[in-house]
Amino acid sequence: MFLIMRVITLGTAGMAPTRNRSLPSILLDYYGDVLLFDVGENTQRQLLKAGINRNRVSYIFITHWHADHTSGLPGLLHTMNANQANKELWIIGPKGTKKHVKAMLEAFEFKPDLLKLKILESSPKRVKTIFKTPLWRVIAAPMDHSIPINAYAFIENDKWKIEESLLDKSRLSRGPWLKQIQQGRSVRIKGRIITPEMVARHVKGRKVVVIMDTRPNNLAISLAKNADIAFIESMFSHKHLDRAIEAKHLTALEAAMIAMKAGIKKLVLIHISQRYKNPGVLLREARRVFPNTILPRDLDVFSVPKR
Ligand SMILES: [Zn+2]
Ligand SMILES: [Zn+2]
Give distance in angstroms: CA of 22 to centre of ligand 1: 12
Give distance in angstroms: CA of 249 to centre of ligand 2: 8
Give distance in angstroms: CA of 18 to centre of ligand 1: 14
Give the environment of ion ligand 2: residues with CB less than 5 A.
Answer: 66, 213
* Side chain identity, residue 30: Y
DSSP assigned state of 149? -
The predicted pLDDT at position 143 comes to 98
CA–CA separation, 294 and 242 (whole Å): 24
CB proximity list for 89: less than 8 A, separation 6 or greater: 57, 58, 59, 60, 77, 80, 115, 116, 117, 118
The pLDDT tens digits of the residues spanning 273-293 come to 999 999 999 999 999 999 999
The predicted pLDDT at position 217 comes to 98
| pTM score, whole prediction | 0.94
Provide the residue ranges of all domains of the chain, joining segments of one domain with +: 5-158+204-303, 160-200
Give the ligand with the smallest distance to the CA of 248. Answer: 2
Residue by residue, pLDDT tens for the chain (307 residues) are 567 899 999 999 999 999 999 999 999 999 999 999 999 999 999 999 999 999 999 999 999 999 999 999 999 999 999 986 678 999 999 999 999 999 999 999 888 888 999 999 999 999 999 999 999 999 999 999 999 999 999 999 999 999 999 999 988 989 999 999 998 999 999 899 999 999 999 999 999 999 999 999 999 999 999 999 999 999 999 999 999 999 999 999 999 999 999 999 999 999 999 999 999 999 999 999 999 999 999 999 999 998 8
Give the ligand with the smallest distance to the CA of 148. Answer: 2
How many residues in total does the chain contain? Answer: 307
Is the CB of residue 267 less than 8 Å from the CB of residue 291? no
Give distance in angstroms: CA of 231 to centre of ligand 2: 15
**Candidate list 29, 38, 68, 298, residue with the active-site label:** 68
CA–CA separation, 13 and 189 (whole Å): 57
68 annotated active-site: yes
The pLDDT tens digits of the residues spanning 259-271 come to 999 999 999 999 9
Give distance in angstroms: CA of 125 to centre of ligand 2: 19
Residues forming beta bridges with residue 60, ordered by sequence position = 36, 91
Give the ligand with the smallest distance to the CA of 271. Answer: 1
Residues forming beta bridges with residue 7, ordered by sequence position = 28, 302
Homologous superfamily of 5-158+204-303: Ribonuclease Z/Hydroxyacylglutathione hydrolase-like (3.60.15.10)
* Side chain identity, residue 111: K
CB proximity list for 42: less than 8 A, separation 6 or greater: 11, 17, 22, 23, 72
* Side chain identity, residue 293: T
Give me the DSSP letters along 279-293: THHHHHHHHHH-SSE
Give the ligand with the smallest distance to the CA of 144. Answer: 2
Give distance in angstroms: CA of 12 to centre of ligand 2: 14
CB proximity list for 301: less than 8 A, separation 6 or greater: 6, 7, 8, 50
CA 242 to chain centre: 29
CB proximity list for 137: less than 8 A, separation 6 or greater: 129, 131, 154, 155, 157
